[in-house]
Structure 1
């Protein structure tokens, strides 16, 4: 896997763009475990090489659905501030325990000091306290302190009150007075619990690609997969019931080990006699796709009476 990644970097630097996509598919298949074991390194590569779109999306899925891979990485403290802040700002960076995020931020901050400061605040000098305040000033507003339980806050956060300003006092007030809201601190919502797409045919990256094709723009870093769309396993007789509005149909051809599907953006009318569907749509808005070896390929639909696949 490491050799494949180095080859990908070389291809990008030599502008062999047409080879990158196929090699990335091989990298994902062969290097799933290696990617997780070296996640910080792979994350940095995904930020440095903008042509590695699939790699960026692969990394993004791990951050969203397996946040512990990043949080427990030995190289976590090697992240640059500019690389770490966007992750902590995400609502869908859903670590179960916010106190664990705070612990890692403290470790990161200590590692940035010249003397590799101890995480025990009782050992800090006045100079150390001021240095940590400066180092973590952009991180502290991103921590969801108000979502922590009182015992977690008391154990993990309160020892660092000297670098937190009036945050400790405000959080303690929220525990004592029901419904109390601070006036001078932005209270961030609880992080969203992410779940993978409920489909055995498509993974999240493939669903995102279809979503991008439908809306012709890159989707926001959102929870659209788990909140906005539902994957339903249909029996042949159920098509008429479910597929009346804009619909994506996906099915697997077992003999060929490929997945094919298509998108109809308009309502479907059914014949009262044959119950066969009549698609009332402009064909240029429709498309079909094929997924072979995890790689998704789209095709236009042309003509008015027949479908012609353009692979």
Structure 2
């Protein structure tokens, strides 16, 4: 398929009756985009095919790599241009802008790192609308600036409604203790190509039930799990990683558990907190559910009309919210972390 991508794609999508094949092919593109982008004749694909691929929210590829391939495709449509944008005239930029005018709106520019923005966007700034480029400059220089451009959401994990592929990379990196100092600037997290873990969805509250019995039914006695919760009415994700099992009334001693805070609109402000008092790392309340020490507690029992959690700082390094107290859970998911074969 990789060697004859364009031929196969065109053959399948020319026939409206090939619905199952079309669905299979579309899922394949989303799950293995590198095989498509690295195919011999990738740059000869039709514009609408490229857009179909890059507009997907579940595309499994780093945003910087998506941008690279979009630019590569654009260059192939303008064979007289040299790869280096510093050699381009204003007319060259205009030609490239016209070529990519329908593709660039699907690149999630606000999901790039500041280094990626500087290296890969600034040299091509004339391809972007002035408003978008000015907003990007404001965003990367001052994250609190008002943005007028539409900020597309980060691409999500296929089986999750809460976390993005980027967040998965962070959690995988924390599991392997790759952080050093500041959790975003002090280490280089995994990306899609070298992330050694699969995140297998075990439970989603809105699908499987929010309560303790539902948690135990789907997650009981499972090793290496991460709990992800969305705080109602906010962009906050709170969660924790447990390398041991969840068993009613049982506590576990471990030095490898951690809890975290992730603001969905600003990954620069994530907070990672590792266990300090390992004897109090993990436990499971028969009545209420999973607990990370006394620092992050989940009440998977309806209290005052909602499912809630509680956050404070006792057994882990630091508090992961701005202040201790209860929070209401809008949704939660549990994943088992499995080493890829």
Q: TM-score, normalised by structure 1?
A: 0.49
Structure having the higher strand fraction is 2
Structure having the higher helix fraction is 1
Q: TM-score, normalised by structure 2?
A: 0.45
Greater Rg over alpha carbons, structure: 1
